[in-house]
Amino acid sequence: MSTMRNSVMLIGRPGAEPETKTFNGNRIVTRFNLAVNETRRNANHEQVKDTQWFTVVAWDKTAERVALAVKKGKRIAIDGALRNNEWTDKNGQRHLSTEIHLNNFILLDWGKEQNN
């Protein structure tokens, strides 16, 4: 039997500069939101552009690399895994979010001054 794998690969553009935090004295986490555009045809056969937003999380050495290299609006390819987070707030309300935990990334607009 083959091994199944939790894997996500996307190409998109960060909507803002990545945010980095350090905690416990040595752990680094960097987060950013990635916009992924798709074009499809609706029921009337009209072309419709759809943008999906994904939260991307990087840890430790990868987080450091993201903080230095990833820039708002610059196209990147990412490889990661989906992680579900569940918590209950102080009012007893249950929340669920899904993030992409980054394994690796490639800058596709490397060295370009403008967005294409």
Residues 6-65: tens digit of each pLDDT: 999 999 999 999 999 999 888 999 999 999 999 999 999 999 999 999 999 999 999 999
- The answer to whether the CB of 60 falls within 8 A of the CB of 66 is no
Residue 3, domain member (yes or no) = no
CATH of the domain at 85: 2.40.50.140
112 located within any domain: no
100 conformational bin, left if phi > 0, alpha if psi -120 to 50, beta if neither: beta
Domain span holding position 27: 8-107
1 within domain boundaries? no
Q: How far is 78 from 75, CA to CA, in rounded Å?
A: 10
74/64 Cα distance (integer angstroms) = 17
Domain count, the chain: 1
Does residue 74 form part of some domain? yes
**68-104 residue pLDDT tens:** 999 999 999 999 999 999 999 999 999 999 999 999 9
In a domain, 116, yes or no: no
DSSP-based three-state secondary structure for 26: coil
Q: Within a domain: residue 2?
A: no
What pLDDT shows up at residue 112? 54
